[in-house]
Chain A
Amino acid sequence: GAVVSQHPSRVICKSGTSVKIECRSLDFQATTMFWYRQFPKQSLMLMATSNEGSKATYEQGVEKDKFLINHASLTLSTLTVTSAHPEDSSFYICSVPGGGEEKLFFGSGTQLSVL
């Protein structure tokens, strides 16, 4: 079964609104979770590292005020796209580090479309 649950799978919103995406670790506690962004026909790019109980670490070029990350518990991280614009339309994927060799478990992704 799924190790990581990501919700919603698809969201359409109006420009200027905010959208929250949830990532849940189902099988184990995760002090760290990762958020990726994938543009059409492009690879995954790490946006930020979500840290339980502390501030997220953002990759260079990612606006922390636009992409708010909250990791309030050991099983849940949320990514909020604030004041969304059409250029924020993309596929967002979260991942959770696994124990041992598995390295990363990925959520099923969220397709965000901003009108």
Chain B
Amino acid sequence: AQSVTQPDIHITVSEGASLELRCNYSYGATPYLFWYVQSPGQGLQLLLKYFSGDTLVQGIKGFEAEFKRSQSSFNLRKPSVHWSDAAEYFCAVGPYYGGSQGNLIFGKGTKLSVKP
């Protein structure tokens, strides 16, 4: 079955500390992987995506993610968290080619809180 697992429902980190949000996926075909961020009452903003090439991808706002095929993981990282990073983060997987472009499979999200 195709699925995305974000094991951590809620993470709290101190401002300036490093961050890693975990994402594991199960997908039958070559995956197209995404991380989105959602602020309260807002839609989703794409942070970064991976479909091929260098397994370490850089995104906006200083985020990066590393694709590890052997572990079926696509963890999101940031070296130094800012208070404005507090939000909900969603990992998603979709078909690389073809298929319904709307049918991305989303994880349940990880809520990030940032302590001053």
Contacts and interface: CB of A to CB of B under 8 A. Distances in A.
Q: How large is the interface on B (under 10, 10 to 19, 20 to 34, 35 or more residues)?
A: 20 to 34
What is the predominant secondary structure among interface residues of chain B facing chain A? loop
Given A101-B51, A103-B94, A93 B43 contact: yes
Nearest to B32: A103
A9 B41 contact: yes
B111 to A, nearest CB: 8
Contacts of A91: 41
B116 interface: no
Given A49-B100, A97-B101, A111-B41, A102 B46 contact: yes
Interface stretch (B21-29, B61-69, B70-78, B102-110): B102-110
Interface residues of A, number: 26
A75 interface: no
A108 B43 contact: yes
B85 to A, nearest CB: 19
B106 A104 contact: no
Interface in A46-98: 46, 49, 91, 93, 95, 97
B55 to A, nearest CB: 16
Contacts of B36: 106
A115 interface: no
Interface of B: 9, 32, 34, 36, 41-46, 49, 51, 90, 94, 100-104, 106-109
